[in-house]
């Protein structure tokens, strides 16, 4: 049976050093589409564009509010959690949130799906361009309510949040197609692969899947390996803290660790 517990900080650190050592830059890329990603999407995005979202992150980090949080990604039971702790530990850092925003912009996505809204900060990056419609799923209603107040504050009317366990809400979300699908919740082997399977119906050949924390645990590394080997997958990019997956059959097969 696969081990569920996350790697320790030390283990992650060592893995990250190895990734930094192995990862290549754009000049080692063969596939023109992956080269384009390395050349045009990876270089850092405009920080100014997201400064209001970052003000919200800062505010949440200082919050004194405490929640009864239903931890769907782990035990599935109620735990007492400080909003400040969630804001500090559970959200994608600005560097990666900006990259996600840039992927949406560069590929001119019109429909985006996120699994795992939490406090809604990364959702705000995905929805920065007001012509993009973002659907986000979140299990816990107390964090989803805070996320909604963040989006209201930022003036995002282009985000719709479906509250409840993914096991119940995913069916509601996959009634349409998405250009970008970002999976950032329930970091375990079986659910990650099951969501990927279920989501195929909501994908077209140009859809880009992004998996969060692909080196978070042995199970997530197994999930990432199986996704790379999946016959529906053509190319993947391992950026260590996220993995990018292309399913376009027109692409040549290439699996790369790119420096980021
Ligand atoms: C890592 S946080 C998401 C962070 C967010 N994407 C960001 O970067 O700002 C993961 C979220 O997924 C939710 N989640 C995990 N497993 C879930 C499940 N099975 N059903 C519904 N929500 C789930 C958790 O409640 C948590 O808020």
Q: Give the model's confidence band at 258: pLDDT under 50 very low, under 70 low, under 90 confident, else very high.
A: very high
Query: Is 136 a pocket residue for ligand 1 (Cβ < 6 Å)?
Result: no
- How far, in Å, from the CA of 234 to the mean position of ligand 1? 27
Instruction: State the pairing for strand pair 111-115/78-82.
Output: unpaired
Give tens-digit pLDDT for 88-121: 999 999 999 999 999 999 999 999 999 999 999 9
Residue 138, number of CB atoms within 10 A of its CB = 28
Instruction: State the pairing for strand pair 242-246/235-238.
Output: antiparallel
Give tens-digit pLDDT for 223-240: 999 999 999 999 999 999
Q: Give the model's confidence band at 147: pLDDT under 50 very low, under 70 low, under 90 confident, else very high.
A: very high
Residue 164 confidence (pLDDT): 96
- How far, in Å, from the CA of 79 to the mean position of ligand 1? 14
Sequence ranges of the domains in the chain:
9-50+92-257
pLDDT reading at 70 higher than 60: yes
- How far, in Å, from the CA of 184 to the mean position of ligand 1? 6
Query: Is 6 a pocket residue for ligand 1 (Cβ < 6 Å)?
Result: no
Q: Give the model's confidence band at 72: pLDDT under 50 very low, under 70 low, under 90 confident, else very high.
A: confident
Residue 21 confidence (pLDDT): 96
Classify 9-50+92-257 by CATH class.
alpha beta
Average pLDDT over residues 178-204: 97
Query: Is 185 a pocket residue for ligand 1 (Cβ < 6 Å)?
Result: yes
- How far, in Å, from the CA of 256 to the mean position of ligand 1? 27
* 3-state secondary structure string across the chain: CCCCCECCHHHHHHHHHHHHHHCECHHHCCCHHHHHHHHHHCCCCCCHHHHHHHHHHHHHHCCCCEEEEECCCCCCCEEEEEHHHHHHHCCCCHHHHHHHHHHHHHCCCCEEEEECCCCCHHHHHHCCCCCCEEEEEECCHHHHHHHHHHHHHHCCCCEEEEECCHHHHHHHHCCCCEEEEEECCCCCHHHHHHHHHHHHHHEEEEEEEEEECCCCEHHHHHHHHHHHHCCCCCEEEECCCEEEEECCCCCCCEEEEECC
Contact (CB, 8 A) for 150 and 178: no
Contact (CB, 8 A) for 87 and 67: no
pTM of the model as a whole: 0.96
Ligand 1 atom showing the smallest separation from residue 119 Cα: 9
Average pLDDT over residues 159-181: 97
Query: Is 116 a pocket residue for ligand 1 (Cβ < 6 Å)?
Result: yes
pLDDT reading at 2 higher than 60: no
- How far, in Å, from the CA of 197 to the mean position of ligand 1? 19
pLDDT reading at 216 higher than 90: yes
pLDDT reading at 75 higher than 80: no
């Amino acid at each position: 049976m696969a081990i569920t517990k996350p790697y320790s900080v030390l283990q992650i650190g060592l893995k990250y050093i190895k990734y930094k050592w192995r990862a290549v830059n754009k000049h080692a890329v063969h596939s023109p589409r992956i080269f384009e990603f390395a050349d045009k999407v990876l270089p850092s995005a405009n920080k100014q564009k997201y400064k209001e979202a970052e003000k919200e992150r800062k505010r949440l980090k200082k919050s004194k509010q405490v929640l009864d949080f239903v931890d769907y990604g782990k035990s599935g039971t109620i735990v007492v959690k400080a909003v400040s702790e969630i804001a500090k530990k559970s959200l994608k850092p600005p560097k990666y949130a900006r990259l996600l925003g840039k992927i949406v912009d560069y590929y001119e996505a019109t429909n985006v799906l996120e699994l795992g809204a939490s406090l809604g900060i990364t959702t705000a990056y995905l929805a920065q361009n007001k012509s993009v419609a973002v659907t986000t799923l979140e299990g816990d209603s107390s964090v989803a309510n805070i996320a909604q107040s963040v989006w209201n504050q930022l003036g995002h009317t282009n985000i719709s949040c479906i509250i409840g366990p993914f096991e119940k809400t995913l069916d509601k979300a996959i009634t349409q197609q998405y250009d970008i699908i970002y999976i950032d919740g329930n970091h375990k082997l079986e659910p990650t692969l099951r969501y990927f399977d279920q989501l195929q119906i909501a994908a077209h050949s140009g859809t880009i899947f992004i998996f969060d924390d692909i080196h978070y645990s042995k199970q997530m590394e197994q999930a990432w390996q199986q996704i790379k080997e999946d016959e529906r997958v053509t190319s993947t990019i391992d950026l260590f803290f996220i993995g990018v997956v292309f399913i376009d059959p027109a692409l040549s097969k290439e699996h790369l660790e790119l420096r980021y």
